[in-house]
Amino acid sequence: MPDYDVVIVGAGPVGAILARVLGEVESPRPLRILVLESGPAVGRTWAEYQGNHEHYLGAEVKVPNTPWVSSTYAPSPDVLDIRKLVPGSLPDDNGYFVQYGPLPFGTDYVRAQGGTMLHWLGTTLRMVPNDFELKTRYGRGVDWPISYADLDRYYELAELELGVSADVGDQAYLGITFAKNYVYPMFGIPRSYLDEHVAKAVDGMKVKLDGKQYTLLLSPTPQGRNGMPNPAYDNGSGYRPRGAHGADHVGLRCEGNSSCIPICPVQAKYNPLKTWGRVAPHVEVRTQCVVSRVIYAPTGSKPVAALEYYAYSDGRPPPTKPDRVTASVYVLAGNSIENPKLLLASGGTPNKHVGKNLMDHPYVLSWALMPENIGAYRGPSSTSGIEILRDGNFRRDRAAFRMEVVNWGWDFVTDSPFSDVETAVDRGRFGSDLRSDIAGTVPRQFHLGFLYEQLPHPGNQVFVKNGYVDALGIPRPCIKYDVDDYVRKGMAASRELWNQLFAKLGATEHTRYYESDPGYVTYDGKPYSFIGAGHIVGTHRMSKTQGEGAVDSFQRSWEHENLYLAGCGSMPTVATSNPSLTMAALTFRTAEQILDDLGTR
Amino acid sequence: MKTARSFAALSAALTGFRTVDLWGTGQVDVYLDELIATVGEDVVARLLAAGDEALVSSDPKKALGALLADDELGPVGRNVIVLWYSGAWRPLPGTWRNRYGASTLDVARVISPASYRSGLVWQAIGAHPKGANGPGFASWANPPTVPGAG
């Protein structure tokens, strides 16, 4: 008899949801579940969580991973490691990733209980129906083995788990439909003053992009953060917002702390710690346990025989021997880089799609100064966007994109508002002159963020290579990454959009890209600098038939019946929506399938 | 105490905030200690003496401008402004370090989480320190206001 019914690798959002759902089984008996997390626990109590926040406030450099401690033996990639690559030189192994280029993969993640969703923004857009049929509709990429209709019910479960605030009427565009009488748990988060200002100019505005005319609409963004509960939720049962883990009276509404990335100080924004707080106590979670190998059975109906892992303590010498654990069902819920890394490091004959088709949303910013004060640096990072350009016939030709309006001035692009102070002071300003200089410019700052859909290319990939190992001797992720002309042409179309928007708003553009930027690319003679969006997708994609992908539509490995590869890696295409909501929806679908496997549904 | 009062008075004149605003942050003594630890007692004494003199002169604005243009005291005075606005110390210019010495504390650093929260820039722009002092649900939908210089 195996040690456990289910072993889950990774205590991020996917592991949390699986542990919660599977842990609820009572008959014929509770399931024996073990979760192995490579990183540390960072928010078991409210005090521990607040420690992360204080650490962030006192840090000189504030990036997404700043509040979350990294373990020596389970390092996390950090955006501070990203450098411009030197073509033809040795790969850049400056950070945790080994970057083969030609462009650096500019995305981080968090290895800790709670995972990278500890520092997600909170955007919870559903995918549009055509996103599931990119190949059929536009001859690009691949289709998904499931449709929007297959996911609708699971989107509802995800929207409940993540506590989404939105209004159905705002979200029903480009063929997105909702079940009859469905409402989100909470009403939409109020839009920022900046949004209203932009909406006045943008709604109904006609723009020309690659020679075709479009009518614009600024849509409120659905968000996994607490707003006003909708009494009509669940056929009139209503909804009670969930507060912070360990302090459930805190964070019942978004308070506008304006630091969603990297940390919501009150946990009004969903994070997986909230789900962990609801996991049945008999579910075992072991942090600081790095799974190093999947061990396959030579024969028999259970192709995966065991997992091997190292239990470590920070500040102590590395463990010399791995432990072993066995289960009826194994779930790899690392992430789209840790999952394939583990499989590729485990030997055997991995499915040929594992590690391939790495995608992200290359993210380009453009920034400008409004003619008047629009109240910059207030509210969640983004509360509205242009969503209606996420689908169209142009996808035969170039990447679709979504555009977010960003409420945080130029903080991301120029280290404002501190850089504005320094510049003014170094120009000799002081006293009330300085104060009115700052007051007269900084509150007028805003920027736009563009997320482009990247196509699956086998050449964009995660792999392992001798000689590149971490402190436990486990292979590190090696990455080849590039951004093709499909994306770059999308960037060019977005430039047409922002030019027309800035003109209509009377805003003065200040966008500047430098050749020294790590993500500097050109298209049609014009420069763009992209950064990673943290939306890592595609490296163990799902498919309708074996041979086309690594997992079936339930995220079960085609070759190994008792192994699931769960998470964004299963998404065959990245489309334009921030992937967390869809990832959560897929997880609920997988949980049902695992319950079927175990005969407990 | 006399030193702290001089420091608060000079800081107020340099930042455009009132001394009462600065005392209210709880950072006056903290920043003065940090300044002394970073550039030394002698430089701070000269800075505050020059500040006292400038503030009682017939044209304080002009005198403060001259102070900020001084080779030795100017860069320190400018750093004091940045310190107040951001809660962080920024390294002095290389030319200053070469001439007057390089302190081990002369590195980019946020003094403390409390000093970050007290950064004056947020008040100056009518916002709140990013990551703290959240102004409340839906406050971001309200028209912005920028409090005037005191």
pLDDT, tens only, A530-562: 999 999 999 999 999 999 999 999 999 999 999
B113/A54 Cβ within 8 A: yes
**Chain B CA closest to residue A377:** B127
CA angle A86, A91, A92 (to 5 degrees): 75
Q: A325 - beta bridge partners?
A: A307
Of B81, B108, B116, the CB nearest to A58: B116
Instruction: Answer whether A63's CB lies under 8 Å from A80's CB.
Output: yes
State percent of chain B over pLDDT 70: 97
The pLDDT confidence band at residue A264, using thresholds 50, 70 and 90, is very high
Pick A88 or A338 by higher pLDDT: A338
Residue of A nearest to B78 (CA): A425
Rounded CA separation A578/A402 (Å): 10
pLDDT attached to residue B149: 47
Provide CB contacts within 8 A for B59, sequence distance 6+: none
pLDDT at A27: 87
Type of residue numbered A233:
Y
Task: Report CB contact under 8 Å: A255, B144.
Answer: no
Alpha helix locations (H) across A123-260? 134-138, 148-161, 168-171, 193-202, 233-236
Q: How confident is the model at residue A600 (pLDDT cuts 50, 70, 90)?
A: confident
**The token pair that represents A541 in the structure block:** 């994609």
pLDDT of residue B150: 42
ipTM for this prediction: 0.97
The C-alpha atoms of residue A121 and residue A71 are separated, in whole angstroms, by 23
What share of residues in chain B are helix, strand, coil (percent, to 5)? 60, 5, 35
* Structure tokens that stand for A173 in this block: 């565009």
Residues of A within 8 A of B135 (CB-CB) are 255-256, 378
Looking at the complex, report in whole angstroms how far the Cα of residue A424 sits from the nearest Cα belonging to chain B. Answer: 10
Shortest alpha-carbon distance between residue B150 and chain A (Å)? 8
Chain A residue closest in CA terms to B142? A193
pLDDT in tens, A29-80: 999 999 999 999 999 999 999 999 999 999 999 999 999 988 999 999 999 9
User: What are the tens digits of pLDDT across the range A465-479?
Assistant: 999 999 999 999 999
Query: Given a cut of 50, is residue A20 above it in pLDDT?
Result: yes
Element of type H or E holding B114: helix B113-117
Average pLDDT over residues A505-513: 98
The overall average pLDDT reported for chain A is 97
- Dihedral over Cα of A332, A333, A339, A345: its sign: negative
> Do B140 and A253 make contact, defined as CB atoms within 8 angstroms?
no
Tokens of A206: 């006609």
A26 contact partners, CB below 8 Å, separation of at least 6: none
Residues of A (421-480) whose Cβ lies below 8 Å from B: 421-422, 425-426, 428, 430-436, 438-439, 442-443
Flag if B137 and A256 touch (Cβ within 8 Å). yes
pLDDT at B148: 62
Look at residue A601 and tell me whether its pLDDT is greater than 80: no
User: Using 50, 70 and 90 to split pLDDT, how confident is the model at B2?
Assistant: confident
Closest to A284 in 3D by CA, of A117, A564, A44, A37: A37
- Res. A412 pLDDT band, cuts 50 70 90: confident
Question: Which of A57, A258, A432 lies closest to B116 in CB terms?
Answer: A57
Q: Is the Cβ pair B110, A257 closer than 8 Å? A: no
CA distance B10 to chain A (A): 10
Chain B residues within 8 A of A191 when measuring between CB atoms: 141
Say if the Cβ atoms of A408 and B130 lie within 8 Å. Answer: yes
B-facing residues of A in 347-406 (CB < 8 A) are: 373-380, 383
Q: By the CB < 8 Å criterion, does A255 face chain B?
A: yes
Helix spans in A442-516 (H): 485-505
Nearest to A3 by CA among A341, A343, A308: A308
CB nearest B131 (choices: A253, A265, A433): A265
Which has the closest alpha carbon to A521: A359, A363, A396?
A: A363
- Among A53, A190, A443, the residue with its CB nearest the CB of B125 is A443
Are B81 and A438 a contacting pair at CB < 8 A?
no
**Residues of B whose CB is below 8 A from A58:** 110, 112-113, 116
